[in-house]
C-alpha cells in the first residue's frame, strides 16, 4: 500500500495509479476537515511554492495561494507575461531555474492539448 506521494509529479491522472489518486483524494478530504474544524495543519513550514500561470486565473490562483498558506508555506505567483518567458525563455528553462529557488512548482497552462487548463 502506498503511504506517501512525496516526490511524485502530478501532470495527468493517467500518470498515477488508482491507489495513488485515492490517497490524494483522501488526504485532501482530511485537510479540508482540519481546515473547517480549525485544526492546524502546517505541513509546508518555511517552504516556497512557485505558481507559474500561462492564463489568467482567479479561482485557481487564489485556491492555491490560500491552500499553501494554510499549510504553512509561501506561494509565490509568477505570471508568464511578466517573466522571462515573455522574452523567449522556454517554460522548461524557467522551471529548472525556479526549482533551484524553492520547494515546488505548480503550473497552469494549455501548452499540451488535453492537459493543464481545460
What letter does residue 51 receive in the DSSP assignment? E
Indicate the pLDDT class of residue 54, thresholds 50, 70 and 90.
Answer: confident
pTM above 0.85, yes or no: no
Write out pLDDT tens, residues 72-100: 999 999 887 878 888 888 888 888 999 99
Higher pLDDT, 49 or 87: 49
Indicate the pLDDT class of residue 118, thresholds 50, 70 and 90.
Answer: very low
- Lowest mean pLDDT: which of 30-34, 48-52, 88-92? 88-92
Phi, psi of 3 (to 5 degrees): -105, -20
When the pLDDT of each residue in the chain is averaged and rounded to a whole number, the result is 87
Rg of the chain over Cα atoms, rounded to whole angstroms, equals: 15
Residue 111 has pLDDT above 70, yes or no: no
Range list of H helices, the chain = 18-36, 59-70, 91-99
Amino acid at each position: 500500500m502506498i503511504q506517501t506521494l512525496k516526490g511524485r509529479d502530478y501532470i495527468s491522472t493517467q500518470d498515477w495509479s488508482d491507489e495513488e489518486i485515492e490517497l490524494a483524494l483522501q488526504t485532501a478530504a482530511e485537510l479540508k476537515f482540519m481546515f473547517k474544524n480549525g485544526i492546524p495543519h502546517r505541513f509546508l513550514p518555511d517552504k516556497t511554492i512557485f505558481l507559474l500561470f500561462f492564463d489568467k486565473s482567479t479561482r485557481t490562483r487564489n485556491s492555491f495561494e490560500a491552500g499553501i498558506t494554510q499549510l504553512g508555506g509561501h506561494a509565490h505567483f509568477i505570471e508568464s507575461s511578466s517573466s522571462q518567458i515573455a522574452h523567449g525563455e522556454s517554460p522548461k528553462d524557467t522551471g529548472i531555474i525556479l526549482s533551484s529557488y524553492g520547494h515546488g512548482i505548480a503550473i497552469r497552462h494549455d501548452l499540451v492539448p488535453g492537459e493543464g487548463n481545460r
